[in-house]
Chains A and B, each alone.
Chain A
């Protein structure tokens, strides 16, 4: 039997031990075509057509959407690649409990 305090520590441990995820965010812009953005998501991230369409619409309707979670270096590489496609992409430290990401 462990004390309440220790139990709380144990409950938090898995999240604390995991590498802090960074989020790749794509922002809505008036220039890129919807079909183009979907294709980039499929081609670069290997998303299914359905997933790419869903993320593209999230960008379009919500103004921005998380399209990938990764370690910082990998997230930055995604952002560089997306800038190469002319997409408005940024990186940020992930928020615990956030969902909707994962390519």
Chain B
């Protein structure tokens, strides 16, 4: 058994280590993420589906038409998995994830950061969020959770031989 920040990796799989109030917040965010992903007009789509051909709007639109549906489906499945991992009943344990599930949830945490970055106005020109905004704290916390999952996945993948050791 090893702990990587907010993630425990043991024989059951990858488990998020969350306080009660953190469970409520993350479950709420996961539910909101599903709503955002189901709205094709949400401005976060520009972050998740950037132009594949920066100098060719037509080719970019065609690329998006061919690729976005599958990626949206995968994103919604990931957010749903994240939601299911954290049962609403606080007495129920957080469910461990297998490797594929942990990888999927790792991406969902990134999707959530993109959503919050959009709301916070974080961009290349303005990479820091307002430190006094409560969403900045959530944004940073999601980064901590995601990094924990990354470290656990790297460790597990190196252990299994899926990734060559550094």
Please report A residues at the B interface, Cβ cutoff 8 Å: 28-33, 35-36, 39, 42-43, 48-50, 76, 79-80, 83-86, 88-92
For the complex, give the distance between the alpha carbons of A20 and B122 in Å: 37
In contact, B50 and A30 (Cβ under 8 angstroms): no
- B59 shortest CB reach to chain A, Å: 9
B3 within 8 A of A: no
**Contact residue among A28, A31, A48 (Cβ-Cβ distance under 8 Å from B110):** A31
In contact, A50 and B52 (Cβ under 8 angstroms): no
Among A50, A83, A92, find the residue whose CB has the most chain B CB atoms closer than 10 A: A83
In contact, A90 and B166 (Cβ under 8 angstroms): no
- B165 shortest CB reach to chain A, Å: 8
B35 within 8 A of A: no
In contact, B67 and A83 (Cβ under 8 angstroms): yes
Show 22 A/B contacts (Cβ-Cβ < 8 Å), sorted by A.
Answer: A28-B124, A30-B117, A30-B122, A30-B126, A32-B113, A33-B146, A43-B153, A48-B164, A48-B166, A49-B163, A49-B165, A76-B63, A80-B67, A80-B71, A83-B52, A83-B67, A84-B71, A84-B75, A84-B107, A86-B114, A88-B50, A92-B54
**Contact residue among A28, A30, A39, A76 (Cβ-Cβ distance under 8 Å from B150):** A39
In contact, A32 and B110 (Cβ under 8 angstroms): yes
Interface residues of B, dominant DSSP: helix
For the complex, give the distance between the alpha carbons of A91 and B114 in Å: 21
Mark B34-67 against chain A: 1 for CB-CB distance below 8 A, else 0.
0000000000000111111110000000010001
Please report B residues at the A interface, Cβ cutoff 8 Å: 47-54, 63, 67, 70-71, 74-75, 103, 106-107, 110-111, 113-114, 117, 122-124, 126-128, 143, 146-147, 150-151, 153-154, 157, 163-166
- B139 shortest CB reach to chain A, Å: 9
In contact, B110 and A49 (Cβ under 8 angstroms): no
In contact, B157 and A43 (Cβ under 8 angstroms): yes
**Contact residue among B52, B106, B150, B157 (Cβ-Cβ distance under 8 Å from A90):** B52
- B56 shortest CB reach to chain A, Å: 10
Among A28, A30, A92, find the residue whose CB has the most chain B CB atoms closer than 10 A: A30
Chain A contacts of B127 at CB under 8 A? 30
